[in-house]
Structure 1
Amino acid sequence: MSAPQDLAIAELTRVLAALNVTATLHVGHVGDEGDGFRWSVAGDVVTVEGDGPRGALFGAYDFLESLGVLWPVPGREVLPTTATLTDSLGAGAPALLGRCMIIGTVALLPVLDDWVTWCARNKINTIFFHTSPPGSGAIGAIPHEDWLGARDQAIALLRERDLVFELGGHGLTHLLPRDRFAQTPEAFRMVKGERRNDSNFCSSSPIAIAALREGSRALFEANPDVDVFHVWPDDAGSWCHCPECEQVTPSEQSMRAVIAVAETLADVNPNAQLAAISYL
């Protein structure tokens, strides 16, 4: 059996016991993917079938909701005062294929179990951990060092529920180490005729593009469990203004970098995806 299937049985068994309801459980899935589900009650037999493993888990939670069980906030479960089995049918299929929760603060890491559990119970199928690159000091994201301390727990929680794992943030610039500025200033962006080692880089520089490929390869190889990588440039229009880069828009400069990183990801992990931000 799959991990989500095992969890579905465990959750059904636990909650039904708390409600003093006796049932024979049949939980399975017809394929390897899909969030759709069907459930039925016939006498004391409860059958849950998902399109995929995650669908079986979502179907189990949908059936429990039909009994009056609620999960209004992370860490809280509300049980009805009484519950009985009556012959019935239920089914569901998502109108939106992707339903994502973004976790981008270190404050949620101590209660990560509660949040991931709540997401699955409410049929959210994707969790994006918005993190900052090593040593960046970025705000509005989980610091890299804190993420490393929570990573193993996060992966285990997501895999048990077959949730999509997204990771990253504004890390594109950090793929070109700042300490290379003295040796290869031409890789860095130009502003008013001077090269600068802050923010984004020179998208016309083969040295910069090669560094992106090198840095992203290390990132992808270190995180083989990630389904979707977010590797964004810096905000605030901070691109290069050298004569070559001035011939293209900031969006085109960004896409030069995205293409190089995407080609690297396809080589390292062709099953993963790259998420990009559109700058117009």
Structure 2
Amino acid sequence: MRVPLLLLLAAGALPAAELVHEGRSRHTIVISRTAPPAERRAAEELQKFVRQISGAELPIAGDSRRVRGPLVLIGRSRELERVARNLPPPDLGPEGFVIAVRGRHLVIAGGGERGTMYGVYEFLERLGCRWFTAEVARVPIRRTIPLPAADVRQEPAFEYREPFFTEAFDRDWAARNRTNGHHAQLDAATGGKISYYPFVHSFYQLVPPEKYFDQHPEYFSLVDGKRRRERGQLCLTHPEVLRIAVDTVERWIAEHPEATIFSVSQNDWEGWCECDRCRRVEEEEGGAHSGPLL
């Protein structure tokens, strides 16, 4: 028993693998020669911030030919297939990523290009980088950067992420903080974004009162005994309202292929429908005005 114990202690004393040691690195960043714009930018961001943190300059190379020495593999490439054929895992979502060490090589790969980019920013955050605003950031000084001790796998809990204030729409801030909303100034190089149509408070776009109210006031909310054309809502329990709304959304889907989310949302005021059907649903849902909408 004494020999295995001594071997274990000796193994534990070995230095951890390093990306940068005292301001110098032997690693090369590798991307596919056909890498999409966001993965190219991810490699450049990693190169830039590692330089700012440690002073080390990691060259960026394509995978057209074999690259010698330890590698930082960004996204899918021939070199990634050679080093870690099982990464990224096939069940990883498009914005998910893995950070893993295989031998001397660091792997940062996503289910899609946005996921790869997010993996790079997660790696930098773990080194202490923070981007508080478009102008204010914290980049630590670390002459030595160790490789991660354990694999990391992450996927976002929410498909759509958008802090709704002007500064958060900044292109670089949004990418580095992993937001992806419609109003962010994200382009192909920053992974694109999730678009929706139309803007919120869309009831009168779904069932326009100028088109339907004169002939069908019953499509619109009953308030104090009168159907309301302006500053009201829809009668959400009327079957024709549902049919018209579905037809409208189907048309929006055909006309706006860039969007993956479509807004079916109440108008930006009160005026809930007080008809017997709508009130009955509200009562069943604990008195919530949202009951008929849901």
In the alignment, what sits opposite 1:179?
210
- Contact 1:8–1:56 under 8 Å retained in 2: yes
Aligned to 2:125: 65
Number of the residue aligned with 1:83: 143
Residue of structure 1 in register with 2:293 after alignment: 254
CA contact (8 A) 2:219 2:235 kept: yes
Give the structure 2 partner of residue 6 of structure 1.
Answer: 40
Aligned to 2:174: 116
- 1:233 and 2:294 equivalent? no
User: What letter corresponds to residue 119 of structure 1 in structure 2?
Assistant: N
In the alignment, does 2:230 pair up with 1:195?
no
Per-residue deviation, 1:171: 1.6
Cα distance in 1 for residues equivalent to 2:150 and 2:191: 21
Give distance in 2, aligned partners of 1:114 and 1:163.
13
* Aligned-pair CA distance for 1:104: 3.5
Decide which moves more: 20-29 or 164-173: 164-173
Alpha-carbon offset, residue 46 of structure 1: 4.1
Q: Distance in 1 between the 2:122 and 2:128 partners?
A: 10
* CA distance 1:26–1:96, change in 2 (3 Å): closer
Give the 5 Å matches for 1:139-154. Answer: 153-154=185-186
1:18-57 map, 5 Å: 18=52, 19-23=54-58, 24-29=71-76, 30=88, 31=90, 33=93, 35-40=96-101, 46-57=106-117
Structure 1 residues 92-107: aligned runs within 5 Å: 92-94=152-154, 97-98=157-158, 101-105=161-165, 107=166
Which whole-Å CA distance do the structure 2 matches of 1:41 and 1:72 have between them? 32
**Aligned-residue offset at 1:190:** 1.7
Which shows bigger deviation, 4-13 or 78-87? 78-87
Mapped to 2, the partners of 1:222 and 1:57 lie a distance apart of 30
TM-score w.r.t. length of structure 1: 0.62
Say which one has the larger Rg: 2
SS in structure 2 at match of 1:248: helix
- Which string of whole-angstrom CA distances, capped at 9 and with x for unpartnered residues, describes residues 28-79 of structure 1? 2524625241233976x54323355444223222333344433233443333
Structure-2 change in CA distance of 1:175 and 1:64 (3 Å): same
One-letter code aligned to 2:57:
T
Structure 1 match to 2:16: none
Shift of 1:21: 1.0
The CA distance in 2 between the partners of 1:209 and 1:8, in whole Å, is: 45
Identity, % of aligned positions: 21
AA at the equivalent of 1:15: F
Contact kept, 8 Å, 1:42 with 1:88, in 2: the verdict is no
Amino acid across the alignment from 2:124: L
For the 8 Å contact 1:41–1:89, the answer to whether it is kept is no
TM value normalised by structure 2: 0.60
Q: 1:70 to 1:187 in 2, by over 3 A?
A: closer
Q: Matched residue pairs, number?
A: 224
Number of the residue aligned with 1:220: 253
Q: How does 1:239-278 map to 2 (within 5 A)?
A: 239-249=272-282, 250-255=289-294
SS in 2 for 1:227: strand
CA distance in 2, matches of 1:117, 1:231: 28
Q: Which runs of 5+ in 1 are unaligned?
A: 130-149, 256-280
- Taking the aligned partners of 1:165 and 1:52, their CA distance within structure 2 comes to 17
Check conservation: 2:73, 2:106, Cα contact below 8 A.
yes
Cα displacement string for residues 86-135 of structure 1 (whole angstroms, at most 9, x for unaligned residues): 45435333486227543435x448x5314412322xxx5x4365xxxxxx
Cα distance change, pair 6–204 in 1 and its aligned pair in 2 (3 A): same
1:141-188 C-alpha deviation (Å, 9 max, x unpaired): xxxxxxxxx8xx44x26x843655556432234322121322322222
- C-alpha distance in 2 between matches for 1:221 and 1:108: 32
